Amino acid sequence: MATVIESHQYTLKRSVSCRGIGLHTGKNVNLTIRPASENSGICFYRSDLSSRPSVPARVEQIVDTTLATTIGMGDTRISTTEHLMAALRSAGIDNADIDIDCHEVPIMDGSAGPFVRLLKRGGRRKQSAYRKMMRITKPISFRMGEKSIRIEPYNGFKITARIHFDDELIQEQSCSVEITRERFEREIARARTFGYVEQVEELWRNGLALGGTLKNVIAIHWDRRSILNEEGLRFNDEFIRHKILDTVGDLALLGCPLLGHVVADRSGHALHHGLMQAIVDSPDCWEYVSFKPADKTINYLHLTTEKNSEHKTIPFNLIGAAQSFATLTPCAA
Ligand SMILES: [Zn+2]
């Protein structure tokens, strides 16, 4: 089934729970994702602390990007948000409350696959509010040394990424994917996190990655030509696919879906954070829009913008439809 751009917000039909270990703490973590009211977004609640403090899953709350993305508010921390956030974003879940009894989201199998399956069990419930999307209108870029990332106007959500490693296993990999629910699930969600064995050993010496095993991380052999995991790779280019998974999950902290094409070279969590900050700091380069179906076939869409009062028609490549158009109309306040 082709994915269409959905006009309304969604939450879960019912609460779902899972249990796993934290990659760095090695501790058991219980996680429950609950339905939430429209316009509330994704919010984490620390169920192990007496006051049950919350941390909204928003770019303003990012407090650390070493090894994983960590959000926080006051003294409360939630780390390794990226794989769960990628699953929520690509499943089209706009609003959910997440109870977690540790500061670390469980690593599961190192990919977003288990979270995608969990969300399917929860089902989706359409809400009455229109979904707000962030539509990029001018390119925005961010650079850190030889690493770079940019986002360009695009009528959909697409990620093109490239990595280069000085080894015989990964070498150079590149991949370009239109992020729809189906393609994310089929081509990206199952790609696992990875690391060189000596890096993992170094983390262990520093009391980190205590939950890291061959069940949740691809360990690249000392010879840099093979991996230690006996089952092998899930995709020949699993490494670049995981990078795209991380990009989807980190950019989800913008709080709504993006209409844009992300082009990343050697990306990582810090680079994603830099791009999101650049987007926030460049309000002239994007606008919030919402789509209102003009008829039941959804071949024509009214695109409503919060900033632009012009009325114009723009070509819109609706995924799954050959020729579609959207009408850009003034925002209804
Ligand atoms: Zn990751």
Whole-number Å distance, alpha carbon 128 to ligand 1 midpoint, is 33
Q: How confident is the model at residue 329 (pLDDT cuts 50, 70, 90)?
A: very low
Orientation angle between helical segments 82-90 and 238-251, nearest 10 degrees: 80
Residues annotated as catalytic (active site), given as ranges: 269
Q: How confident is the model at residue 201 (pLDDT cuts 50, 70, 90)?
A: confident
Q: How far apart are CA 74 and CA 52, in angstroms?
A: 13
Full 3-state SS string of 193-239? CEEEHHHHHHHHHCCCCCCCCCCCCEEECCCCCCECCCCCCCCCCHH
pLDDT tens, residue by residue, 54-72: 999 999 999 999 989 999 9
Whole-number Å distance, alpha carbon 249 to ligand 1 midpoint, is 8
Architecture of domain 8-130: 2-Layer Sandwich (3.30)
The domain ranges of the chain are 8-130, 134-284, 289-330
Architecture of domain 134-284: 2-Layer Sandwich (3.30)
Whole-number Å distance, alpha carbon 242 to ligand 1 midpoint, is 6
> Is 301 within 8 Å of 293 (Cβ atoms)?
yes
Whole-number Å distance, alpha carbon 164 to ligand 1 midpoint, is 17
> Is 104 within 8 Å of 50 (Cβ atoms)?
no
Task: Give the predicted TM-score (pTM) of the model.
Answer: 0.89
Q: How confident is the model at residue 163 (pLDDT cuts 50, 70, 90)?
A: very high
Whole-number Å distance, alpha carbon 322 to ligand 1 midpoint, is 34
CB atoms within 10 A of CB 80: 23
